[in-house]
Structure 1
Amino acid sequence: MLFDDTYKTIEAPAEGVFRDRGSKFIGYAYPILSEDEVKGILANLRAEHSKARHFCWALRLSPDRSIFRIQDDGEPSGTAGRPILNTMLSTDITNVLIVVVRYFGGTLLGVPGLINAYKTAAAEAINAAHVIEKTVNDIYELQFDYLLMNDIMRLIKEERLHVISQDFDNSCCIKIEIRKSSLNIILGKIEKIEGVKLKYLFTA
């Protein structure tokens, strides 16, 4: 199979701490599914750590690990966001945001010291997290007439598909997750049921 349909991420938020010459670096790791979540997380951390000097972060998104962002937040370029991202690359996790909050201790650490501090704080947060493996799933929405309910539910049960949400009225709507590796087979089966509208939403 060409496409690897599993990826590693973390199960729940975790944190780790690193100290160097009076400065304190607190690493926070969060499982996320989109960039939209970053703003709220940063706002909460800034409120919680109002005396901290820097909030540097990196994120990695999507099962193919192709999306990443880094933010040095006032630290010298390349000394914070990049080392945080590198810890994610070395542990091969994705759909994760790591923020390192720095309390300045009065002593300048220099470029090598900063790189080490941000890297270590991020690594401590990952070490504290529970790393899990997930399958890559495409999320689809099925729309169909109530009369087709039995056919659809039978297929979902047979293929052990995970239902994310369902709304049953005169016309029904179900959101399901289909594992990437079995996508073509299952879509083929759905298409055989006449009158079903199939809509791709996103990949998770």
Structure 2
Amino acid sequence: MNGPDHYLTLAEESGAQLREKASRFIAYAFPIADEDDFKQRLEALAAKHHDSRHVCYAWVLGAGGERHRANDAGEPNGTAGAPILRHLQGAGLTFAAVVVVRYFGGTKLGRGGLVRAYGDVAREAIAANRTVTGIVQEELR
């Protein structure tokens, strides 16, 4: 077997909220099995928050975290998905995702304010969770 034989992931769904200049940020952190699993969760959260302005996210997959994606969902490039992804990777997590929903409050936060808000609420959602160790299993033939 190549690569790590174990990995760190989230135990369950957790969340956090943050208000910044009348904008409300709601984060959901949860384990995922694969990209399809994530897409289903994302669709459900987008439907639940259909009146929000942005639904940004990041996910990490693979025992070594080799697959990852971040999406700014209409926010300025690099201000939402990247800070979320940094916190997932910084915690050493894989098979995990964070989705952050933003309800715009009428005041622009600027690039720095967006990076801080998305990063802070993602970090809080991850911190509110428990981590578990997963074991990589291979099918023998």
With normalisation by structure 2, the TM-score equals 0.94
Q: How does 1:127-166 map to 2 (within 5 A)?
A: 127-138=127-138, 140=139
Corresponding residue of 1:94: 94
Corresponding residue of 1:175: none
- The one-letter amino acid of 1:113's match is G
Indicate the SS of the match to 1:7: strand
Contact 2:5 2:136 in 1 (8 A): yes
- The one-letter amino acid of 1:99's match is V
CA distance in 2, matches of 1:65, 1:38: 15
Is 1:66 the counterpart of 2:66? The answer is yes
Instruction: Using the TM superposition, give the Cα deviation of residue 3 of structure 1 relative to its aligned residue in structure 2, in angstroms.
Output: 4.3
Indicate the SS of the match to 2:100: strand
- Greater Rg, structure 1 or structure 2? 1
CA distance in 1, matches of 2:19, 2:62: 32
Q: Which runs of 5+ in 1 are unaligned?
A: 141-186, 188-197, 199-204
CA distance in 2, matches of 1:98, 1:28: 5
Is 1:111 the counterpart of 2:111? The answer is yes
Runs of 4+ in structure 1 deviating by more than 3 angstroms, as ranges, are: none
CA distance in 2, matches of 1:44, 1:33: 16
The one of the two structures with greater contact order (alpha-carbon pairs below 8 A, sep at least 6) is: 2
- The one-letter amino acid of 1:83's match is P
Q: How does 1:1-204 map to 2 (within 5 A)?
A: 3-138=3-138, 140=139, 198=141
Instruction: Using the TM superposition, give the Cα deviation of residue 137 of structure 1 relative to its aligned residue in structure 2, in angstroms.
Output: 1.7
CA distance in 2, matches of 1:65, 1:39: 18
Instruction: Using the TM superposition, give the Cα deviation of residue 56 of structure 1 relative to its aligned residue in structure 2, in angstroms.
Output: 0.3
CA distance in 2, matches of 1:53, 1:123: 21
CA distance in 1, matches of 2:126, 2:110: 24
When the two chains are superposed, the root-mean-square deviation of aligned CA atoms in Å is: 1.3
Contact 2:3 2:64 in 1 (8 A): no
The alpha-carbon distance between structure 1 residues 67 and 3, as it changes in their structure 2 partners (threshold 3 A), is: closer
CA distance in 1, matches of 2:91, 2:103: 26
Instruction: Using the TM superposition, give the Cα deviation of residue 111 of structure 1 relative to its aligned residue in structure 2, in angstroms.
Output: 0.2
Structure 1 window deviating more from structure 2 (2-11 vs 122-131): it is 2-11
Overall identity of the aligned pairs, in %: 41
Instruction: Using the TM superposition, give the Cα deviation of residue 4 of structure 1 relative to its aligned residue in structure 2, in angstroms.
Output: 3.4
Contact 2:84 2:118 in 1 (8 A): yes
CA distance in 2, matches of 1:123, 1:19: 15
CA distance in 1, matches of 2:92, 2:19: 25
With normalisation by structure 1, the TM-score equals 0.66
